[in-house]
Structure 1
Amino acid sequence: MVTVHLQDDSVVFTVEGWHKLWSFRSELRVPRSHIKGVRRDPAAAAHLAGIRAAGTYVPGLITAGTFFLDNVPDHKPTFLDVQHPDNTLVVDLKAEEFNRLIIEVADPEAVIALLVKEII
């Protein structure tokens, strides 16, 4: 699971608990201006096609880490951390290491409200 909060001009995505080990990341910082959009998408982490660069993939259990997905046109990696798909958000990025983040959060609606407010 990932927690999301604002710090100065950045959005901080903090990977919690054992997910740090599974995803090989503890935190991602993204300038607010680099977030193109955010949406709830419970199916985003299902049926992934591509290459796992660093992380964990156990179908039906957890998907965490850096993945190069086949359906990404710019060939940039995607960061994933999803165990319970119902709480999945997709955060689209520009000018970042990752083209998008596919993450599980405790309260998807609250995170969407926080990020949409910052995008506008």
Structure 2
Amino acid sequence: MAHISIDDGNLIVEIEGLDKLWALKSRLTIPLAHVRGATVDPGIVKESKGLRAPGTHFPGLITAGTFHVDGERVFWDVRDPAKAVVIQLTDERYARLVVQVSDPHANVALVENALPN
């Protein structure tokens, strides 16, 4: 699971618990100027993940780490698809972050309300 926060003009995604091990990351910091938006999308787990490098993928259990699909790099940390949030990025290492959070709708609102108009 991940914890999303906003601090000093940055989106902070903290990977929690054993997911740090599976994802091979503990924290992502993205300038808000590079965040295009966020959505709740439980159906995204059905999409192709592409090539895992590095990361963990056990279908139906966990998808965590860096995946390459259609020429894009996507960061995943999802166990429960019902709690998946997709954050679209621009001019960053990752094109998207797909993370599981405790309250998807509240986290999407947090991100969307923090974006510059």
TM range (shorter): over 0.9
Alignment-derived partner of residue 78 in structure 2: 82
> When the two structures are superposed, what TM-score results if normalisation uses the length of structure 2?
0.95
Q: How many residues align?
A: 116
Cα deviation 1:48-103 (Å, max 9, x = unaligned): 24110101000000000000013xxxx23000000000000110000100000011
Say if 2:112 is the partner of 1:101. Answer: no
**Do the aligned residues in 2 keep the contact of 1:45 with 1:80 (CA within 8 Å)?**
no
Cα deviation 1:16-55 (Å, max 9, x = unaligned): 0000000000000000111101111001122424110101
Alignment-derived partner of residue 13 in structure 1: 13
Counterparts of 2:47 and 2:72, CA distance in 1:
19
Say if 2:41 is the partner of 1:45. Answer: no
Query: Structure 1 runs of 4+ off > 4 angstroms?
Result: none
What is the one-letter code of the residue matched to 2:102? Answer: A
Counterparts of 2:49 and 2:109, CA distance in 1:
30
Please report the RMSD computed on the Cα atoms of aligned residues, expressed in angstroms: 1.0
Q: What are structure 2's unaligned runs of at least 5 residues? A: none
> When the two structures are superposed, what TM-score results if normalisation uses the length of structure 1?
0.92
